[in-house]
Structure 1
Amino acid sequence: MSLSEVYQRIARIISDLHHAPVVQNRVPDSREALAAPSFRYALLNRSGNITQTNLDAGYKERLLDQLDLAEVHLQAPRFYLVGDELVVATRFHGTGDDCWIVPLRVDDTEQILIEKSSSKGFTPSEVRLLHALLSGLSVRQSASLSGHSYETKRSQLKSLGAKLDISSQNELVRLTTLWIFNEVLERVSVAAQGSASETDFTRSFFSTHFKDQIRYFQISAGERQTIRFAEAGAATGEPVILLHGNVLPPLKPSFFEAVAERNIRLIMPIRDGFLTNQVEYIPADQQIERHALQLETLLHFLNQKSVTLLGYSTGTAYALDFAIKHPSSVNRVIFAASSYFMSKGESPVNKFMRNIRKLSRESEHGTHLLIVFYSRLLRKERDMLNTLRKAYAQCEMDSTILETICADPLGRRFFVDSYQASLSSISVDWRMSQRDVWSRLGDLKVQAEFIHGSADPLNSARLVVEFLEGNPDVSLDCIPDYGQFLLHDENSPVIERMKIQAEA
C-alpha cells in the first residue's frame, strides 16, 4: 500500500466519523482566503505537538491549488490530500475568521498514541503495533520489520482488542484514527484560542511597567502549553538568558540601555504560573522539568546554539538544572543573588522560610496552600509594601532602591502586581527550599560563577562563601554593600559580567 493510499484510507475513516466529505481533486482557488491576515498555519511536529509556523512558498502553492476554505465551517474539520500529506483544516468559535490547517504525517503520530493509550495499560510493544497498523502495515509485515514472530504480534493484537473491548482489526484502526484526530483538533483549538486572561495580563504587565524597553512574545508549544518570553537590548547581540526569581527585578530604562550598548540580547523566559493571575498547584519537580523543556524549545525556536545563562534569585535552581541537562547549549552560567542557602538569621523572612522548609518535608501541597493563603493576606498594597520593607531592612542599598521605586504609584504597583499575579510560581520556588538544590553543582560541566551581594538580607553571603570553599572550580564575587538588587540600573555589577562574555 502506497503512502498516498494510507492517507486516503485514514481520510475516509475520519470522513465517516465526522460526516465530512473527502476532497480528492483540485477544488476552487482560494488564493484570496490564504492571503488573508486572519489565516493561521499549524504543524504537528515529531513530538506530537502543535506549533505555529510560516510555510514555505512551495507548500503554500500546493495548498492554494487544493484547499477550498469557503467550505470550512466553524468546528467542522475538513480533510484534504496535499501531495503525500493529509491536511486538516478547521475554524473555531471566538477567533473571528481564523482558519487553522494541520499537515499531518502518519509517522509523526506515535507520541499521541503513547499519550492516549497511557490510561489503557498498553505496553510499548502494543503501541508500536498500533502505530504500524495505522501506517498501513499488516500484522505480518509489522512482525517482520520488528524482528518478532507473527504469533507474538497476533498475541499483542488480541491483547489490544481485549483492553479496548474490540474484536475487529478495522475497528481498532478506526478508533485509533479517531483518537489522533480528536487530539489534533483539540490541540489546534488550544493553540487558536489560548488563554486570554493569562495572555492579556502578562502583556499588560510588560507594557505598563517596562513600556518600550521590552519586546514580549508568546509561541505555541503544544501540550496545551504556551511559551512566553520577553527580550531587550540588541536584537542581534550576544544572547544571555535571564531566568527570573519570585518577581522580575525592577529594571530601570538605563539598565536596558547599558545592555544594548554592550551588544547583549537579554532573553527572559517566563515560567508557568508567573504573571498569569491564576492559582494552581504545580509539583516542584514537575515545574523544574517543564521549564527545562520549554527553555530547550525556546532556544531551538530562536535558533540559538549556545548561550550564557543568568540565574537570578530563585531562578538559580532552574539555571543549574538546565546547564546540567543541556551542557552543549550553555557556554557559561552566572548565579546572581543565588537562593536556597538557608540563613540562620532571625529576621522575619529567615524564620518564615525555615518554617516553609519544615512544612514542605511533610506536605508539599499543604505548603502550597499555606503560601497562597499567606500571600492573599497581603492583597492590600500597604501590607505588601510593609512586608517588603521588613524583608530588605537589613541592606541599606536595597532599602534605598525599594523606597525610590515605591515613591512612584506605578512603582508600588510593580511589586504588588508581580507578587499577586505569580502565586503559583512563587509557591513552587519557596517549596523548593526543602531540597538541597546545590548538591548537584558538582555535575555542572560548564564554566560557573557566583555573584552575591555581601549585604544580601534574604540569602546569607557568609553561607555562600562557606559552601563554595569546597568548590574551588567555581568563582565567587561578593559585591560590597549590595543586597538582592544586583539587577537594577546601568551600575549593575552583573552587566559587567555579561559584557565580558559578549566581548569574548
Structure 2
Amino acid sequence: MDDTASEELMEALARALGTLQAELTPSLVKRVVPGRSDMADPAGTWRIIDCQLTGGILQPLMLAERHDALWRYLSDALDRQGELRGGILLDDGLALFVPGGSERPDRLAVLSDSTLFDAADELAGDLTLYPSEQRLLKQLVCGFNLTAAAALDGVGHETKRSQFKSLARKLGGGSQAEIAGRALSRIFLEIASVPGEGVSQDDYFDDLLRQFAPEARTLRLRSRTGQSHRFVDIGPIGGWPVVMLHPMILPDFRSADVAVLDTLAIRLIVPLRHGAMSRGTVALDVCAHLDHACEGIELARKHFCGERADIMACISGTAYGLEYARRHRDRVASMAFMGATVKPTTSRSTAGRLRSSLFTLSMSRWHVYSRVMDFYVRRIRRPETLRQLLMGVYRPNLVDLAVIDAEYGPPFGGERLRKFFTSSVQSIKHDFYHQALPDWSGFPVPGCRATFLHGAQDFIHPPAEVRALAQSLGGVPVFMLPNAGQLLYHNHFEAAMNLYRGFLEGRE
C-alpha cells in the first residue's frame, strides 16, 4: 500500500510542479544571495536554478553556479538524502525538482521553510502544525513516502503513520499525494497573487544583463507617443557615444570587451527592439516594429549624441539603421555596417535549407512563418537543441563554429545564448524578415559618412558582394576582419572596435 502511495505522490508532484513555468515574472521569482543564511529570510524565499538530470547526476546549466555556495549546500544535502525523489530536504528549506521537457530545461526551485509552512497554515486554518508534522510535510513534498520518511528520521513506520493521520486531519487531505499537491498548489497560488510592485514585464532584460553582462547599465526612456523604450549602456560614460543597433540578440560583452571600450573611449548606447529580451510581448506588424525601432534610435540620438548620431548597425541591425537614415537624413553623422546583410538571403547554397525556408516564409506567409518560429523557440528551450541548430547552419564555416564553441564554453555554457534567444522571439521574427530582403535604396544620404566592417570569411554575404555593394553606393570603404565569418563576436571585438575608432576619428 505504501508503494502505491509513493507512485501516486510522485505523479501528484509532477502535475503540481508542472505549473511552475518559465513565464513567472522576475518580481515573483525572488533571487536570493547564495548561501544558507538567506533561506531564513522571508523576502528572499525563491531561487530558480536551471539544471539537467543525467544518469542520476544533477548539474546546473550555468557553469559558474557549480562553484556557487548555494549549489554546494544543495549537493551536500542531496548526498545525505541519497536520492533526488521529488526534491531535496534542506535544514532550513527545500529544493523542489521541476522536470523539464521539450520546451524547457529541468529546474530546482529553492524555497524557505516559511514559504511551505505559511501555505500549510492557510490550509490548516485555526489548527496548529507541530514540528514533527511540519517535518513530515517537507518530506512528503520532497517525494518521500512514509516508509522512507521513517527510515530517514530513524523512527518506526507507525510513528510516521500517526503523524500523517494528524497532518491529514488538519490539512483536509486524504492521501499523501493529495496533501503534498494541496500544499504545492497553495504555494504557487500565493506566488501568483504577489503584486508586481509596479514593474513592467519588460524589466526582464535587467535580470539578463545582471546575470550575463554585469558591467553594462540599463536605461529606460519614454517617447512623446508614450512608448517605453529600453536601452543597454556599456563603456565609459564620458566616451564617444555611438548608437549600436544589435544583431538578433545582444552580443556577449565580457570584461575584456569593456576594457577595450574604456581604452578606446567609446560608449555604446544600444536601443533594444520591441520583443528583444522580454516576456509576454505583444506582437507587432512589420511597419509598427520598424516605427518602434526608429523611435528608439531617435531617443538614443537625442539624449546621448546631440544633433547627429554615429550609428553602428550589426548584422540584422542593418535594416533598422537604413530605415532611420531614410526617415531622418539630417540626423545621421556616420553609419558603420558590421557584418551587413547585403543581398537577399533565400538561397539554400549560402543560407542553408532551414534559414532559406524561414526567409522565404517570412516574405510570403507571415502567419505560417510566425507559428513555425514559435515552434522552434519552444524547441530551443532545451540546452542542446539550439546548439545543434546553430551547428547545422554554420557548419560550412570553421570561424563561425569557433564562435558557437565559445558561447557554449565557460563561463555560461550556452545559457546566455539560449535565454537571449528564447526571450527575443518577437524581435527575431522581424530580424529574419529584414535579413531576407535588405533594402539599400536611398543610401547613402548626403553628409553621412559610411563604412563596412565585414568578416573576410563570411560565407553567407561573401566579401566580393560586399565590395560590389560598397562600390555601387559611391565607393564606400570596406574593412575586412581576416579571421571572422558572419558572427562578429568574442575574439573579433577588439580588432573591430579599433577599426571603428579609426573610422570615427577620420571624420574629424
TM-score (normalizing by structure 2): 0.56
The CA distance in 1 between the partners of 2:489 and 2:411, in whole Å, is 21
- The answer on whether the counterparts of 1:277 and 1:420 sit within 8 Å (CA) in structure 2 is no
SS at match of 2:499: helix
Is residue 336 of structure 2 the alignment partner of residue 334 of structure 1?
A: yes
Aligned to 2:420: 418
Give the alignment of 1:66-465 within 5 angstroms.
Answer: 193-195=198-200, 197-199=201-203, 201-211=204-214, 213-221=215-223, 223=225, 225-302=227-304, 304-339=306-341, 341-343=343-345, 346=348, 349-408=351-410, 410-443=412-445, 445-465=447-467
Amino acid at match of 1:403: D
The CA distance in 1 between the partners of 2:423 and 2:304, in whole Å, is 27
- Unmatched 5+ residue regions in structure 1? 1-191
Aligned to 2:120: none
Is residue 490 of structure 2 the alignment partner of residue 485 of structure 1?
A: no
* Cα pair distance change 1:309/1:363, threshold 3 Å: same
The CA distance in 2 between the partners of 1:316 and 1:238, in whole Å, is 21
- The answer on whether the counterparts of 1:391 and 1:458 sit within 8 Å (CA) in structure 2 is no
Give the count of matched residue pairs: 311
Cα drift, residue 386 of structure 1: 1.3
- The answer on whether the counterparts of 1:486 and 1:492 sit within 8 Å (CA) in structure 2 is no
Amino acid at match of 1:193: G
The CA distance in 1 between the partners of 2:276 and 2:416, in whole Å, is 14
- The answer on whether the counterparts of 1:395 and 1:481 sit within 8 Å (CA) in structure 2 is no
- The answer on whether the counterparts of 1:252 and 1:489 sit within 8 Å (CA) in structure 2 is no
The CA distance in 2 between the partners of 1:360 and 1:346, in whole Å, is 15
* Cα pair distance change 1:468/1:348, threshold 3 Å: closer
SS at match of 2:412: helix
CA-based RMSD: 2.6
TM-score (normalizing by structure 1): 0.57
* Cα pair distance change 1:479/1:431, threshold 3 Å: same
- The answer on whether the counterparts of 1:486 and 1:493 sit within 8 Å (CA) in structure 2 is no
| CA deviation profile, 1:285-327 (whole Å, cap 9, x unmatched) | 2211221122212332336332210000100111111123223
The CA distance in 1 between the partners of 2:447 and 2:323, in whole Å, is 12
* Cα pair distance change 1:379/1:489, threshold 3 Å: same
Aligned to 1:51: none
The CA distance in 2 between the partners of 1:234 and 1:490, in whole Å, is 20
The CA distance in 2 between the partners of 1:475 and 1:340, in whole Å, is 14
| CA deviation profile, 1:146-177 (whole Å, cap 9, x unmatched) | xxxxxxxxxxxxxxxxxxxxxxxxxxxxxxxx
- The answer on whether the counterparts of 2:342 and 2:466 sit within 8 Å (CA) in structure 1 is no
SS at match of 1:296: helix
SS at match of 1:399: helix
The CA distance in 2 between the partners of 1:205 and 1:397, in whole Å, is 27
Amino acid at match of 2:404: L
SS at match of 1:410: coil
Amino acid at match of 2:255: P
SS at match of 1:452: strand
Cα drift, residue 491 of structure 1: 5.1
Amino acid at match of 1:386: Q
